[in-house]
Structure 1
Amino acid sequence: MFTFKTLSTFFKIFLFGCIVLTCFQSCDDEPVDPLVVVDTDDDGIPDASDNCPNDFNPDQEDFNDNGIGDACESVSEIDTDNDGIFDDVDNCPLIPNPGQEDTDNDGIGDACDDVPALTPLYPCEGGMAGPYACNDYDLMGYIPLEELAEIGAEGNDSWGWTDPTTNKEYALVCSTQGTAFVDMTDPTAPILLGKLASANPGNSGNKWRDVKTYNNYAFIVSEATGHGMQVFDLTRLRDVTSPPETFTADAHYTDFGSAHNIVINETSGYAYIVGSNINSGGPLFINIQNPTNPVNEGSFPGYSHDAQVVTYNGPDADYAGQEILIGSNANEVVLANVTDKSNPIPISTVTYNNIGYVHQGWFTEDMTYFLLGDETDELGFGNNTRTIVFDFSDLDNPTLHMNYNGPTAAIDHNGYVKGNDYYQANYSAGLRIIDISNVSSNSMEEIGYFDTYPENNNTSFKGAWNVYPYFASGNIIVSDINRGLFIVRKSGT
């Protein structure tokens, strides 16, 4: 019988990742089978108790305490704070924050950030935000038109830019005199950084101006005669130390003079100039992949007032990956394949009843439906604000899907889709937010608004010209013809 008294030798033999304990006994004792302990990753922790037996992890780290060692668990599968957001994309991985709120847009979630919650300039309470009627949207900040432009100017288009290096948010606000650049990273204290004057400031007459962005540059056109397209490097806004500054353009493109609008497909790097003084106002195809050296590569016939151009990934497989233009062309909607700039191909056209002026439209995010605004049907036919919805699931055969009528007689101007919401600049009725999650079932519902023109909701060309709802922070900018820049935000966010 084996006893410690008969133990003659004790060895540890490490062989092929196994620890073998062998006891040599006296010849009188029966042999004992070796005790084998498996440690596959050779980290000193036997497989039987190792939380990651195939990967070296002697400290047995298990950040989310789920029994699986971090060494063999993908970071994309780790959710330390159990809030439903994996650590690799969670802006606050140690504290639950399922909504990923980031008030100051610094990449650190509010739950981990010591930045206090922002206090609106006017919260929406009892249906009013200061002097402005509202529903579920607060007024965060405001800059009057008199600061953005000179006395006597009128406001018009706007767009937004987020600096990819600093995550700061900027509003680009147009007027009849030029373009203003506003740092609105803190929406409660927006800073006018400077202005870029019109390229033809002495021109009389209509000077409506439109702006879009691509690759950290702003591209600006105007109906002013001889204006062309101004190109402005937005990264210059990082270095403004004594605002407001007087800016100059980084490039000035003059192959056309006046233009009503500019559309940019940021995926392809092309700008589409519409309503210009050449090609009878048909879209011009301008390659802006080198932003300060634009190149004209072609055009499409037929006047276009506004357009959306997308790299198509919708339900019509025939056009997958193609560049598709949807033109709002005054009396019809035109669809065209503009992938080959030297040979654009018409696809189809579509109209509807009681056309006033086919003005502007936007795809739903799945590219199944197209929401169109008619700018003068309220004046011509007496209907309330009307949004016409087309089914574009077959681009060769677009069909009318439904009409949505808003609660006021105000004229709709520009509208954009973000997720399941449609953000509409509704002139005298201000900004309207419409839930389109059930559009496939012929149902749309207004869920919020902020009225930038408190005088009335009449059928007139006053009030909100444009809205930009695409900031990650949730801030929304509204440019108002009469009052300037409004920064609004959904209440409680």
Structure 2
Amino acid sequence: MRGKNLMQSFARNTTSAIAVFLIAGAAFGDEDGRKLLDLEPMVPGPIITLGELDDRGGGFDASGVTLMAWLPLNNFPGGHGSGNDCWGYVSPSGREYAIMGLERGYGFVEITDPANPVIVASISGPTSLWHDVKVIGNYAYGVSEGGSGIQVMDLSDIDNGNVTLVRNQMSGGHASTHNIVANPDAGTLFLCGANIANGGLVNLDMSDPTRPTVSGAWSNMYVHDAQVVSYTQGPYAGREIAFCASGFNNGWDSTGLRIVDVTNKSNMFTIATYFYTSPAYSHQVWISPDKQYAYLDDELDEDFGLVPTTTTRIIDISNLSNPVQVGTFTSNVPAIDHNLYTRDQYIFEANYTSGLRVFDASDPVHPVQIAYFDTYPSDDAPAFNGAWSCYPYFPSGTVIVSDINRGLFVLRIDAIDADKLDVQLVGSPPEMLDPNGGTTLQATIVEQGETIEPGGVQLVVVDGEGIAHTVAGVETGPGSYSFASPVLACADQVEYYIEAQAASGAYYYAPLTAPSVGYSAIVASQAVPTFEDNFESNTGWTTASTASDGQWTRGVPAGGGDRGDPAQDYDGSGRCYLTDNVDGNSDVDDGAVTLTSPAMDATGGEVFLNYARWYSNTAGAAPQEDIFTVEVSNDNGSTWSTLEVVGPTGPEVFGGWVYKSFAISDVFPTPSNQFRVRFTASDFGSGSVVEAAVDAVSLVVYECDVPPECVADRTGDGVLDFFDILDFLSDFTAQDPSADIVQDGVFDFFDVLEYLSMFAAGCP
């Protein structure tokens, strides 16, 4: 806590906000209490527009974004000391309006011309740091933790500067609310974190849009925020599904993602519960437009030091009954991620002290930051000032950001509108490339303001020694290209990407992370598993321990994601090995625990060891002091070699499944049939919470087919031409053994005839 900021906050408007907050009955123990204690004063000033700026960022740190206008809080009528949520509205005439949540209500700003915003109306509301607003049809619905139920605001005459408060609607004992959720496709509205129904997801009957009435609830637990969507195809066609950032005890306990079927408002039920890695407080979730992935913001993991930088979870929801975390993304600063929204292939995220961050999620598992606008100039610390939310859905492409201290920002995202080549790999990236070459890849390239340089499209394969092999793309149609992978060394681990050069000289790539990070592949003709263990049965693993607690146990994870435990196994089979499989305060203490495999046969080709591991050492009195070790033996355990050491610090000590693959020949030049692997987690010295798990162990032989020799290709350049014939005749005249084609020890007409026959037939 920063005492200076706290004193400044209480000296201004925060005292009344705290009073209303407590009187309304909201739980000061939830994460929002931290906002009150962190609040800095608002920053006053005149409205600033594009024509008055010396640079595109208006003096704010920005990349790929132009500041069209900035409306500080003091310009909104009502005397507001802080800002909060924002949303948008487009009138039937096509004019665009920003709705800004304020300490004492809402402001309505026309931004049809984003460089000339006009505050057209304001509506008073209860004094509170928290207001939230959504739009259904021509009505805006606002809620607050300060009370007043649902403020129903009529937007039908906003083009004439008139916004009317229809009523403060209360029903079913409802008064205060943290969030309101709209599903415009179904015309439905829900409350989150209200003073009724255990703070759960509360449905509102919208038969009269001016009187939203409480009618049914999913009250299993507290829901901090949610997105509700309608499914129109697939197994959930016709269903309305809610994705809830939720937990017990106002969201603190068992915090995570709940997927809830809310189609029948009198019988809403849970489809799945998911606990992501390193949880602190599940805050907000929004899904990709294709409904395949959920992006989840945890509001306190950065503040608690559970992750080193802004970390947003990526959860595969293609199977609603079995969500799985498949990654994270970050802006590489310490700020807290707060509210995000998706539009097309982009993610727009308001991250408190680091402002708006824009990511290209063309690869939905590896979003790449392409633009930002930092609304909080002081720093990027994990604190609760700066950008509260954003709204990216205006047809014009204008994006607004609501800032706690500085009001409303109206932005143009140049990085999205900029000229470029859109390079996309067709289909899933191959995970194996044929050693003999010829694995076919296809790509599409769309010219968006840029044009393709003739001959500027190629496949680049970087082998294990860092040597780049390039293959020119063959244009198969307008904007469509085909590539055949080059000849590569068997069992090599390579990266590859598509590169397109524009006429301007700029380069564009698939994936977006290239050339620094490309697609990964193994060079092989086929992969043959020789050992696979998902730990559903006992295959002969042994355990040893010098610790007082935290022994390795095979079973279904029981920790629920608490205190560094995995919430579930890696491969979905159910069981894994993990340290002391109980719920609650039990982990590795005062020693080391070791899990050792049975002997495995690592002979017979290029063999890779694969496994998934989980390791957490970030909680307790002495976090990030211990390590997790993986060792291998080629002599049935008589001697051991270290394969990898995880920790004591680094990105893989915060929990989360990490899949690893190693070529055994890199450790043992001649692998044996007495190969073993062992995993050791330890806690020495000062006590800390150490949890580990292992799953999906396998040995895989990567085999490479040897192509038949092309005898006719004498020069070995892959092309049959006049030079091959000359080479043969030269060797024939010299009676070189290679020219004895029929292999009868005689150099005669039959050798010439056989060679010419092979030449005419071509290479296989």
Query: Do the two structures share a fold, i.e. TM-score over 0.5?
Result: yes
Give the one of 395, 420, 430 matched to 2:345.
Answer: 420
Partners in 1 of 2:382 and 2:244 — Cα distance? 25
Task: Report Cα offsets for 1:150-172 as digits up to 9, x if no partner.
Answer: 445210000000112x1100000
Specify the alignment match of 2:156 in structure 1. 235
Given the alignment of the two structures, is residue 308 of structure 1 paired with residue 227 of structure 2, yes or no? yes
Partners in 2 of 1:385 and 1:121 — Cα distance? 33
Partners in 1 of 2:378 and 2:187 — Cα distance? 42
For structure 2, which runs of at least 5 residues remain unmatched after alignment?
Answer: 1-48, 419-764
Distance 1:136 1:365, change over 3 A: same
CA shift at 1:186, angstroms?
Answer: 1.1
Higher relative contact order (CA 8 A, sep 6+): 1
Partners in 2 of 1:368 and 1:359 — Cα distance? 20
Partners in 2 of 1:421 and 1:297 — Cα distance? 35
Q: How does 1:112-261 map to 2 (within 5 A)?
A: 120-121=50-51, 129-151=57-79, 153-164=81-92, 166-198=93-125, 200-201=126-127, 206-224=128-146, 226-240=147-161, 248-255=164-171, 256-261=174-179
SS at match of 1:370: strand
Q: How does 1:19-418 map to 2 (within 5 A)?
A: 120-121=50-51, 129-151=57-79, 153-164=81-92, 166-198=93-125, 200-201=126-127, 206-224=128-146, 226-240=147-161, 248-255=164-171, 256-301=174-219, 302-313=221-232, 317-329=234-246, 330=251, 331-380=255-304, 381-418=306-343
Contact 2:80–2:102 (Cα < 8 Å) also in 1: no
Specify the alignment match of 1:80 in structure 2. none
CA shift at 1:120, angstroms?
Answer: 3.1
CA shift at 1:385, angstroms?
Answer: 0.3
Contact 1:465–1:480 (Cα < 8 Å) also in 2: yes
Partners in 2 of 1:443 and 1:237 — Cα distance? 41
Distance 1:124 1:349, change over 3 A: farther
CA shift at 1:248, angstroms?
Answer: 4.7
Contact 2:114–2:398 (Cα < 8 Å) also in 1: yes
Task: Report Cα offsets for 1:280-322 as digits up to 9, x if no partner.
Answer: 10111002243112232200011100000000246xx321120
Contact 2:245–2:257 (Cα < 8 Å) also in 1: yes
The amino acid across from 1:477 in the alignment is: I
Partners in 2 of 1:149 and 1:275 — Cα distance? 28
Partners in 1 of 2:343 and 2:391 — Cα distance? 10
Distance 1:412 1:322, change over 3 A: same
The amino acid across from 1:276 in the alignment is: A
SS at match of 1:262: strand
Distance 1:193 1:354, change over 3 A: same
CA shift at 1:123, angstroms?
Answer: 7.0
Task: Report Cα offsets for 1:72-103 as digits up to 9, x if no partner.
Answer: xxxxxxxxxxxxxxxxxxxxxxxxxxxxxxxx
Contact 1:286–1:297 (Cα < 8 Å) also in 2: yes
Which 10-residue stretch deviates more, 267-276 or 289-298?
A: 289-298
Partners in 1 of 2:78 and 2:406 — Cα distance? 12
Task: Report Cα offsets for 1:219-246 as digits up to 9, x if no partner.
Answer: 000000x310011111221222xxxx7x
CA shift at 1:252, angstroms?
Answer: 2.2
Specify the alignment match of 1:466 in structure 2. 389
CA shift at 1:481, angstroms?
Answer: 0.3
Partners in 2 of 1:432 and 1:481 — Cα distance? 16
Partners in 2 of 1:354 and 1:254 — Cα distance? 38
CA shift at 1:124, angstroms?
Answer: 9.2
Specify the alignment match of 1:480 in structure 2. 403
Partners in 2 of 1:191 and 1:406 — Cα distance? 33
Q: How does 1:425-440 map to 2 (within 5 A)?
A: 425-439=350-364
Contact 1:123–1:137 (Cα < 8 Å) also in 2: no
Specify the alignment match of 1:76 in structure 2. none
Would you identify which runs of 4 or more consecutive aligned residues in structure 1 move more than 6 Å?
none
Contact 1:214–1:266 (Cα < 8 Å) also in 2: yes
The amino acid across from 1:363 in the alignment is: I
Partners in 2 of 1:411 and 1:288 — Cα distance? 35
CA shift at 1:187, angstroms?
Answer: 0.9
CA shift at 1:121, angstroms?
Answer: 4.3
Distance 1:300 1:122, change over 3 A: farther
The amino acid across from 2:323 in the alignment is: P
For structure 1, which runs of at least 5 residues remain unmatched after alignment?
Answer: 1-118
CA shift at 1:257, angstroms?
Answer: 0.4
Which 10-residue stretch deviates more, 292-301 or 149-158?
A: 149-158
Task: Report Cα offsets for 1:247-294 as digits up to 9, x if no partner.
Answer: 651132112100000001112221110000011101110022431122
The amino acid across from 2:385 in the alignment is: K
Partners in 2 of 1:124 and 1:388 — Cα distance? 38
Task: Report Cα offsets for 1:180-205 as digits up to 9, x if no partner.
Answer: 0111111111111121000x45xxxx
Partners in 1 of 2:206 and 2:396 — Cα distance? 28
